[in-house]
Structure 1
């Protein structure tokens, strides 16, 4: 008899009459993660049947609200600390969106590849499979950076996401590097498969240590050690630093094997994509939860261009491999509870390169739609689904209007304002407005250089950050570039302080928009102001934001509106309060003069024009 069949039979017999009741852990407040742990089959992470042939689903209900949450094998229930590889604990993570009494009911089934197929399977009895718990309102302030005070970040059919709890809209300003952030020496089962010698800054083990950020760790932060005794302080400190700079997003990959880094994967062995490393994934969860509590959204790129066909080429040749489905399901089961999360189908998806069949010809349009729909069907929280690409003609027209896709994460090196405008228009014309973000600006080889190489930050501030926001883009991630694999480049970056000036200027822009600009109601209207490098963002008749890339004076065409308007200036370099220029207020006309800035006429300025 095959081992798999023996495993299925043992799964049905393993539960004893002494099995303990399900355990509900977590802070019982809205927007806080609750973990429900069941006693189930005693299995091992080294057996593919553990993951393929078992499927836990937990249904959570409150009134008419229902979530069907996928669960996962959890070894002994505390693998992140114990490094356990086997056990009988099965868990589901759930983030309730309201207070009140919630019920739960767990269902564990077994059958051949039941985890990735729409088959019922055979029910495995769970002791105390159902129960209730009472949720109170969140006690975290909605003004806190902690997302537990604001709720789940949702796509709401516009160009910006909205927090379900606070109702606030979200603008992203964050770091896009290192993309292999999870290649950290404090995680179990983590090493550089290829041992690339071109990254000397990472040391002999070729992993991130984030030594410069150990000073940013605090005693009340999460703490763990891996199997070799390396601790979490470097990564936790890095997360603290990102939050302290006012950044609110990170771009990272859970899979870089056969990609640029060869150093991140969720499995025990990256050559076998059916057995997941339970303790490593628990440790990832601790890091991700700390990010969320620190107000950091996660853009999770599920593949990169070099490994985008890894599953299909290595695991049977089907257009949608079962191992890919299992990978998506495990990522959703473990991390879908996070409040601010975006699934990205992959970095530079759709590209072909010189490796030919090693990479394949890129995912087809049919595959991208199938991948998106599988994620949407599996994820009970409906997190946005996006894809990273460089060209408006390559993949995005084929996805425009698709109901299970929320937009592009763009890679560009010029014309940032116009390319965002073009993508937004394409999505509106197709009847489904997209979230359009700029997530690899300044060219793959160049990227955002350290402050020492670019002290003023004029080019990235003017041509990327403000150009994107003034177009109606949903935010920016700063990618560090290849830079001949220098110690500060994308894969090898250890110290984010070397770009601190750009973090400061990014925070200034995001804070300004959040405090003064009703951006969720506005649109690009560059034709209202003369000058090719001047931008306008408008809510017709109410609010106009004018950005003068090269400073000077400007006039605003308000021919189709009437009334008086106040004029205030904002300094994108130094920030501070809104300032008076030479004209404090004016009356709408086809040639509404906005006056001169308070000082430094040659620098870039933002002018806020609001109806009285």
Structure 2
């Protein structure tokens, strides 16, 4: 035996002892597991590189630093170093097309602030040459993405835009190498980076990966458990399902498609220091995972490549992070017997599932008690549930739910507590619940306070999948939580801005005959107050609007109110204002308590019936404008302070209804003392209430203050709150319609001077006795409302309107039963909402009345780009833009019908002025001009 043979034999003996299975290719040894190949030569140690097969050879490309291309030939069992790339390239999945290896979705630079590669790079193996290819669109550049080829086109999915700091995305792009063209395809259900994608049987598979956020110290923890599948023929992503939960969560993994199976191997995670050695195969037909033989050496940041009847992997990092960098080469014989490997039971398949932005409700069995028990379940027990996803956690308060089905049974007793939660992130969530008992524990913010009561399901997990709802449903995937931002409503999910339009009346919407224990405490009709009429609401005219499949309760109750909601939504209205407490107030028919004289015990069945209606409103795209009190009762709880009674009341509202995505907390109707009612909450009491709402609400819904109608009263009551950080804006009441636009501009400017951009809505328009009359009683077709309260408000920078029905006419603010009586007003409101949604970047525009030569014109504009003007009675207006001569286009819009008349492109007259003249069809009528440069 030669010396070299002796050395090789010794190495094999050592390898067998340390790694259990080493082989030299020329020895022909093949076992059922992975073999560590003793090749001639050694590749450059590297990780975050690509391994790919090209014409029966392995190519190891890239990795941290600038490394040569290393080529392995199984025939000669030799590694050979080739040329180096023109720059550092790492975190990419290479693909082969024609005679080149394509590199896209890569990063360059050092951790953690790497930069996405701005173009495709090609390596020609037979020429040993790198070449720059087409530029990647700037808005779609990212690294750490999965890349696969299907039908001669490349598909890049996921990735991260900002190195390891943040910016993981769900993007899918198609790249045509023949033309160099990019096409944006539908986003995946989940964002992920640090993974590899494969194609099998006409579908694109993305398993494993993570959401990397080093900016939040979350480098390895946020691994993805559920795989995503894109059907090329259908052009759609499959709904998320726990049947695609991966047995071992990891990122930086290798992936390969073989024999109809999706193979996932190696990787790193926050659960262990060593790189993963698990190799697992998913069968898309059966939904089963099987355990393939584990790697001899765990590794991440490399790839799988198949040549002949073997699968190979090489290089990578042996531990989580960047070292040790490996040089070893392993292979596994691909045999049909691998499909008989042991199945892996994935426990996540038993998890409950809920769609994103939908209500997730958990029930817990606690002590048997009742609404009247000496141990008050509303004050002396507290359920808190902590929901966790990745590095995010949200603590949500639960509530006593009697028998758990009180809306149907009317139960007053039972042992069920519940929690409701709206998840905002896809993927796996965990919960941890605690039920505790103690005197007034319900309002105690100390999470450890009280005596813990054992719960059988105190912890668990659930899977969040994409929403299947379409707008206007607030559970739509692109909607979700509605927040206050830069003076407007905005959807947190998509960033889309939104303006409301709807009803302010009847304010006692919940004074409805089909809600349990709902009645009028006393009839009254004092001066300055609406006449509620004889009985509480039945909404009988809207019974016909209820549709099969709509909700009801207790054998068909609630259909008329549900039908009324349907009608409002059919008119494309998206907001409704209502009181949740009017004891001592105008209607005296709405309260959440079991007894209107006991403010510590609530009515579980009434609360649950309200929730049925609120669920339906959200599904129909109607904002819940929840008004917590009115001027007559603002001192009723704790003398106006935020003490035990008020905290308990607000905490119950938040626990039962805070999960709704589109909700506004209103501090109270006509809040604060005025000359006609000198009793009211003071500045400090308002601040207490604001701060409690913001601290107790896990969703941080907008908090608004409903004002009095006169300017001086606004100054006195809202003025001191301008610097209050928890107050998001004002819910306007204005006595004189013509003052709406000026008051809007005044309060926007005052808030801006305090560093705030208040969201201001126009919710109660004067005069107090008329408000918005029924169509049949307004001979002008709501002209003054349309001009000043609708368009004057919106063109003054307002966030939306709600129509108040006045106090002294039929179908008023308390007695209205039929929203059809104001159908023309709904239609005109919808015209305005459509105009703002379809034509204006209103969140980035400012009032510009001073630019117009007419004092009766309202103007909102963005210099050099766009202007919108409302001109009453037609005629001509001149707008002094201050711009140089430029061409512009004008379209004229009818604010009643919504009809549009296109004007011709024109050039500004001297001095930067433009002249607007209504078309023939609109002369003598109100019209809206849209000017675009």
**Whole-Å Cα distance in 1 between the matches of residues 874 and 452 of structure 2?**
69
Does residue 398 of the first structure (1) align with residue 724 of the second (2)? no
After superposition, give the CA deviation of every residue in 1:302-336 in whole Å (9 maximum; x if it has no partner). Answer: 000000111124xxxx8323111100000000000
* Structure 1 stretch displaced more, 344-353 or 245-254: 344-353
Deviation at 1:186, TM superposition (A): 0.6
Deviation at 1:487, TM superposition (A): 3.7
Does residue 52 of the first structure (1) align with residue 379 of the second (2)? yes
Which residue in the other structure is 2:928 paired with?
606
Which residue in the other structure is 1:496 paired with?
819
Q: 1:571 aligns with which of 888, 894, 899?
A: 894
**1:554 partner SS:** strand
**Whole-Å Cα distance in 1 between the matches of residues 816 and 412 of structure 2?**
32
Deviation at 1:397, TM superposition (A): 1.4
Deviation at 1:292, TM superposition (A): 0.4
Q: 1:548 to 1:25 in 2, by over 3 A?
A: farther
Deviation at 1:157, TM superposition (A): 3.5
**1:49 partner SS:** coil
**Whole-Å Cα distance in 1 between the matches of residues 414 and 464 of structure 2?**
29
Which residue in the other structure is 1:17 paired with?
none
Deviation at 1:586, TM superposition (A): 2.6
Structure 2 counterparts to residues 153-192 of structure 1, below 5 A: 153-192=481-520
**1:490 partner SS:** coil
Q: TM-score scaled to structure 1, two decimals?
A: 0.90
Q: 1:516 aligns with which of 833, 839, 843?
A: 839
Q: 2:369 aligns with which of 43, 48, 70?
A: 43
Does residue 585 of the first structure (1) align with residue 906 of the second (2)? yes
Deviation at 1:462, TM superposition (A): 0.6
Q: 1:203 to 1:526 in 2, by over 3 A?
A: closer
**Whole-Å Cα distance in 2 between the matches of residues 40 and 281 of structure 1?**
20
Which residue in the other structure is 1:362 paired with?
680
Does residue 546 of the first structure (1) align with residue 841 of the second (2)? no
Does residue 381 of the first structure (1) align with residue 699 of the second (2)? yes
Q: 1:114 aligns with which of 421, 438, 441?
A: 441
Structure 2 counterparts to residues 426-465 of structure 1, below 5 A: 426-455=750-779, 456-465=781-790
Does residue 223 of the first structure (1) align with residue 552 of the second (2)? yes
Which residue in the other structure is 1:8 paired with?
none
Does residue 337 of the first structure (1) align with residue 645 of the second (2)? no
**Whole-Å Cα distance in 2 between the matches of residues 332 and 434 of structure 1?**
23
**Whole-Å Cα distance in 1 between the matches of residues 627 and 852 of structure 2?**
38
After superposition, give the CA deviation of every residue in 1:145-169 in whole Å (9 maximum; x if it has no partner). Answer: 4443433343353011111223221
**1:57 partner SS:** strand
After superposition, give the CA deviation of every residue in 1:249-280 in whole Å (9 maximum; x if it has no partner). Answer: 00000111110011000001111010000000
Deviation at 1:111, TM superposition (A): 1.1
Does residue 258 of the first structure (1) align with residue 587 of the second (2)? no
Deviation at 1:353, TM superposition (A): 5.6
**1:42 partner SS:** strand
**Whole-Å Cα distance in 2 between the matches of residues 43 and 58 of structure 1?**
21
**Whole-Å Cα distance in 2 between the matches of residues 46 and 352 of structure 1?**
39
Is the 8 Å Cα contact of residues 247 and 503 (structure 1) preserved in structure 2? yes
After superposition, give the CA deviation of every residue in 1:410-450 in whole Å (9 maximum; x if it has no partner). Answer: 11022010001111111111111110011101222221111
**2:355 partner SS:** coil
**2:917 partner SS:** coil
Deviation at 1:562, TM superposition (A): 5.9
Q: 1:164 to 1:110 in 2, by over 3 A?
A: same
Q: Which has the higher helix share?
A: 1
Q: 2:650 aligns with which of 314, 318, 328?
A: 328
* Structure 1 stretch displaced more, 114-123 or 295-304: 114-123
**1:419 partner SS:** helix
Deviation at 1:510, TM superposition (A): 0.6
**2:513 partner SS:** coil
After superposition, give the CA deviation of every residue in 1:542-567 in whole Å (9 maximum; x if it has no partner). Answer: 11111112321112112146642211
Does residue 470 of the first structure (1) align with residue 795 of the second (2)? yes
Is the 8 Å Cα contact of residues 153 and 161 (structure 1) preserved in structure 2? no
Is the 8 Å Cα contact of residues 301 and 344 (structure 1) preserved in structure 2? yes
Is the 8 Å Cα contact of residues 45 and 85 (structure 1) preserved in structure 2? yes
**Whole-Å Cα distance in 1 between the matches of residues 478 and 438 of structure 2?**
40
**Whole-Å Cα distance in 1 between the matches of residues 840 and 638 of structure 2?**
46
Which residue in the other structure is 2:289 paired with?
none
Q: 1:592 to 1:271 in 2, by over 3 A?
A: same
Structure 2 counterparts to residues 196-211 of structure 1, below 5 A: 196=524, 206-211=535-540
Q: 1:493 to 1:385 in 2, by over 3 A?
A: same
Name the Cα RMSD after superposition.
2.1
Larger radius of gyration: 2
**Whole-Å Cα distance in 1 between the matches of residues 840 and 525 of structure 2?**
48
Is the 8 Å Cα contact of residues 353 and 462 (structure 2) preserved in structure 1? no
* Structure 1 stretch displaced more, 169-178 or 390-399: 390-399
* Structure 1 stretch displaced more, 292-301 or 486-495: 486-495
Q: 1:543 to 1:27 in 2, by over 3 A?
A: farther
Deviation at 1:590, TM superposition (A): 2.4
Which residue in the other structure is 2:42 paired with?
none
Does residue 70 of the first structure (1) align with residue 397 of the second (2)? yes
Is the 8 Å Cα contact of residues 361 and 420 (structure 2) preserved in structure 1? yes
**Whole-Å Cα distance in 2 between the matches of residues 499 and 149 of structure 1?**
32
Is the 8 Å Cα contact of residues 484 and 702 (structure 2) preserved in structure 1? no
Is the 8 Å Cα contact of residues 298 and 342 (structure 1) preserved in structure 2? yes
Deviation at 1:352, TM superposition (A): 3.8
Is the 8 Å Cα contact of residues 148 and 293 (structure 1) preserved in structure 2? no
Q: 1:99 to 1:267 in 2, by over 3 A?
A: same
**Whole-Å Cα distance in 2 between the matches of residues 438 and 147 of structure 1?**
26
Q: 1:368 to 1:512 in 2, by over 3 A?
A: same
Which residue in the other structure is 1:13 paired with?
none
Q: 1:364 to 1:468 in 2, by over 3 A?
A: same
Which residue in the other structure is 1:3 paired with?
none
**Whole-Å Cα distance in 1 between the matches of residues 433 and 878 of structure 2?**
63
**1:375 partner SS:** helix
Is the 8 Å Cα contact of residues 350 and 394 (structure 1) preserved in structure 2? no
**Whole-Å Cα distance in 2 between the matches of residues 487 and 186 of structure 1?**
23
Q: 1:400 to 1:561 in 2, by over 3 A?
A: farther
**Whole-Å Cα distance in 2 between the matches of residues 55 and 594 of structure 1?**
64
After superposition, give the CA deviation of every residue in 1:147-206 in whole Å (9 maximum; x if it has no partner). Answer: 4343334335301111122322110110000000000011001011114489999886x2
**2:385 partner SS:** strand
Is the 8 Å Cα contact of residues 25 and 34 (structure 1) preserved in structure 2? no
Is the 8 Å Cα contact of residues 388 and 408 (structure 1) preserved in structure 2? yes
Is the 8 Å Cα contact of residues 567 and 586 (structure 1) preserved in structure 2? no
Runs of at least 5 residues in structure 1 that lack an aligned partner in the other structure: 1-23
**Whole-Å Cα distance in 2 between the matches of residues 568 and 243 of structure 1?**
29
Q: 1:271 aligns with which of 580, 597, 617?
A: 597
Is the 8 Å Cα contact of residues 97 and 151 (structure 1) preserved in structure 2? no
Q: 1:197 to 1:385 in 2, by over 3 A?
A: closer
Which residue in the other structure is 2:669 paired with?
347
**Whole-Å Cα distance in 1 between the matches of residues 367 and 621 of structure 2?**
37
**Whole-Å Cα distance in 2 between the matches of residues 72 and 498 of structure 1?**
39
